[in-house]
């Protein structure tokens, strides 16, 4: 399939993707919902207003608003109908209603250079999992030794914790270095700016209709409740985390900032990239999950994920960001479906717009680790940047960019589906 619009060959936003986002035009108009195609945004509020989405939406308006929550709540049949309708309107051979209407194209299409992106949803709750085996093994090895790297529960359930929704930030928001309590080895606790500021490379998803309290989402139902995916950078202050986390887990070392990419890639757009994943079978040396967590269809995703970094000095010298890690979503042991099913199995209610993230995704080799904690092995193996600067953890002025993409092809040739990026610059702690 090809669009009648110009889409650069290497664009991660071809007609096969069509991710949703909330944008406002630089003319000051109210935020609205759009889909990204190439370097343009198609304004769905305009299409909806003109009645072009009536059949797909069954007449219910969901796009002339500043969040995707109402659309997320409609469920998978409506998502699929809208997606099919948009592909029809944007394709080179489909319905000419947009393609052959100069005035409508003028109003409904806007360059990405002329918009500001906003959080895609009002996020009621944010949950972070811990689903990459290599990451859990690396962290366990550092803190408990290789013998006890994985805790006994890890291969039986997707470990997670409740994060903080209020500090989920749209890509491009500055990250102020957090202050907090730290505990030096042989000295009393002190208070000050974190010295071990880190990132976590994660894949997140937004919940669709969700479930009533007391009624779990089953594995068979899970795809009906996963609206789409974003990249997540779970900024982490390792020194604050280390001192505070016993016994209840992450708190102020995590909840100061979590950045997400602005374009929500639909669940169905990632279907071509489904792969089997690590077998959860005794034959493969893994325990079989309890029945409620068993997933028969391919549960993994072949998605390349990159971590890029540039320092203030590098930007000054116009040096390209350095790629410090390349990972892949296939390294997740627990799938998004398993995360959601486990989250609700006790009757906990998930709601439209809830955000759930995978946990740091680390591959098997040291250049595929998704955090500086692992990449520099607690700072013992610093990374050298193209500028000659060394990094153990993040310095003020550093900019971190996470990207993700997957390649496929159809009858018309190869295409790429991607997320764009989630980025943020570290700013000095307030008040020194
Ligand atoms: Mn995390």
**Ligand 1 mean position, distance from CA 235 (Å):** 8
Ligand 1 centre to CA of 28 (Å) is: 35
Nearest to 357 by CA among 225, 219, 202: 202
- For residue 359, the CA-to-ligand 1 centroid distance in Å is 4
Q: What is the pLDDT of residues 61-88, one digit of tens each?
A: 999 999 999 999 999 999 999 999 999 9
The CA 48 to ligand 1 mean position distance, Å, reads 37
Separation of 371 CA from ligand 1 center, angstroms? 10
The share of the chain scoring above pLDDT 70, in percent, equals 100
336 CB burial (10 A radius; 0-12, 13-18, 19+): buried
- Taking only the tens place, the pLDDT of each residue in 26-40 is 988 899 999 999 999
pLDDT exceeding 90 applies to what percent of the chain?
Answer: 97
Indicate if the alpha-carbon torsion angle 218, 220, 221, 226 is positive or negative.
positive
Instruction: Label residue 297 by pLDDT band (50, 70, 90).
Output: confident
Please give the full DSSP string across 240-300, using - where no structure is assigned.
Answer: HHHHH-TTT--STTTTT-EEE-S-BEEGGGGGGGEE--S--SGGGTSPPPPGGG---S--E
Tokens of residue 294, six digits: 């068993």
CA–CA separation, 22 vs 44, rounded Å? Answer: 10
Beta-carbon count within 10 A of 55 CB: 11
Instruction: Please state the rounded mean pLDDT for residues 379-383.
Output: 97
We find that the CATH architecture of domain 20-118 is Roll (2.30)
Q: What is the mean pLDDT of residues 119-137?
A: 98
- CA of 236 relative to ligand 1 center, distance in Å: 8
Give distance in angstroms: CA of 128 to centre of ligand 1: 6
pLDDT of 46 strictly over 80: yes
Q: What is the CA radius of gyration of the chain?
A: 22
Fold of 126-427: Fumarylacetoacetate hydrolase; domain 2 (3.90.850)
Place of tokens 């296939």: 330
pLDDT confidence bin for 431, thresholds 50/70/90: confident
Element containing residue 34 per DSSP (H, E): strand 32-37
Average pLDDT estimate for 304-318: 98
Over residues 389-393, the mean pLDDT reads 98
pTM for the whole structure: 0.98
Which of 135, 225, 342, 343 is flagged as catalytic? 135
Mean pLDDT computed over 145-168: 96
CA angle 139, 166, 332 (to 5 degrees): 35
How much distance in Å is there from the Cα of 85 to the middle of ligand 1?
36
Residues, CB-to-ion distance under 5 Å, ligand 1: 128, 200, 234
**What does the pLDDT average to over 6-34?**
96
The Å distance, Cα 53 to ligand 1 centre, comes to: 38
Cα 122 to averaged position of ligand 1 atoms, centre (Å) = 20
Ligand 1: centre distance to CA 129 (Å): 7
- Give every CB contact of residue 289 below 8 A, 6+ residues apart in sequence: 156, 157, 280, 338
Statement: residue 56 has pLDDT above 80 = yes
Active site residue 135: yes
Q: Cα of 416 to ligand 1 centre, how many Å?
A: 27
Are 14 and 416 within 8 A, CB to CB?
yes
Rounded to whole angstroms, the maximal C-alpha distance in the chain is: 73
pLDDT of res. 143:
85
Tokens standing for residue 431? 């008040």
Distance of alpha carbon 205 from alpha carbon 358, whole angstroms: 8
pLDDT (0 to 100) of residue 259: 99
Ligand 1 mean position, distance from CA 114 (Å): 32
Q: What is the pLDDT of residue 432?
A: 58
Give pLDDT, residue 257: 98
383-403 burial, b if ≥16 CB within 10 A, otherwise e?
eebebebebbbbbebbbbbbb
- pLDDT for 209 beyond 70: yes
- Which pair of structure tokens corresponds to residue 255? 């909840």
The pLDDT of residue 82 is 98
Q: What is the pLDDT of residue 423?
A: 98
Domain regions of the chain by residue span: 20-118, 126-427
Q: What is the mean pLDDT of the chain?
A: 97
Instruction: pLDDT band for 110, please (50, 70, 90 cuts).
Output: very high
Mean pLDDT of 374-391: 97
424 C-alpha to ligand 1 centroid (Å) = 16
Check for a shared fold between 20-118 and 126-427. Answer: no
Q: How far is CA 193 from CA 2, 82, 173, 199, 362, in A?
A: 51, 47, 19, 16, 27
Tell me: pLDDT of 126 over 80. yes
């Amino acid at each position: 399939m090809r669009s009648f619009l110009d889409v650069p060959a290497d664009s991660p936003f071809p007609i096969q993707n069509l991710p949703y986002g909330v944008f406002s035009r630089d003319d000051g108009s109210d935020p609205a919902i759009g889909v990204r195609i190439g370097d343009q945004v198609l304004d769905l509020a305009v299409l909806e207003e003109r009645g072009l989405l009536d059949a797909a939406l069954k007449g219910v308006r969901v796009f002339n608003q500043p969040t995707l929550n109402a659309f997320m709540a409609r469920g998978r049949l409506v998502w699929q109908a809208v997606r099919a309708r948009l592909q029809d309107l944007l394709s080179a051979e489909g319905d000419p209603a947009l393609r052959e209407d100069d005035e409508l194209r003028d109003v409904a299409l806007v360059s990405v250079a002329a918009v500001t992106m906003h959080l895609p949803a009002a996020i009621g709750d944010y949950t972070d999992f811990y689903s990459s085996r290599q990451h859990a093994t690396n962290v366990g090895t550092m803190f408990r030794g290789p013998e006890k790297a994985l805790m006994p529960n890890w291969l039986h359930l997707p470990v997670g914790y409740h994060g903080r929704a209020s500090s989920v930030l749209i890509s491009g928001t500055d990250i102020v270095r957090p202050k907090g309590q730290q505990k030096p080895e042989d000295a009393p606790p002190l208070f000050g700016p974190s010295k071990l500021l880190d990132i976590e490379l994660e894949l997140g998803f937004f919940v669709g209709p969700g479930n009533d309290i007391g009624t779990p989402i089953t594995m068979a139902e899970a795809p009906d409740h996963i609206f789409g995916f974003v990249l997540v950078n779970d900024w982490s202050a390792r020194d604050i985390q280390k001192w505070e986390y016993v016994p209840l887990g992450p708190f102020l070392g995590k909840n100061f900032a979590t950045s997400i990419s602005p374009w929500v890639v639909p669940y169905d757009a990632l279907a071509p990239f489904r792969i089997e994943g690590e077998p959860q079978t005794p034959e493969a040396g893994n325990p079989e999950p309890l029945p409620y967590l068993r997933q028969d269809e391919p549960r993994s995703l072949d998605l390349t994920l990159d971590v890029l970094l540039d320092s203030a000095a590098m930007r000054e010298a116009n040096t390209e960001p350095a790629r410090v890690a390349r990972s892949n979503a296939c390294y997740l042991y627990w799938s998004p479906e398993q995360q959601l099913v486990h989250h609700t199995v006790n009757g906990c209610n998930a709601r439209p717009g809830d955000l759930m993230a995978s946990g740091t995704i680390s591959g098997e080799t040291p250049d595929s680790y998704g955090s500086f904690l692992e990449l520099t092995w607690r700072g013992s193996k610093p990374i050298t940047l193209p500028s000659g600067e060394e990094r153990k953890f993040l310095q003020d002025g550093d900019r971190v960019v996470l990207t993700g993409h997957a390649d496929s092809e159809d009858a018309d040739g190869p295409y790429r589906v991607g997320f764009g990026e989630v980025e943020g610059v570290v700013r000095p702690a307030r008040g020194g």
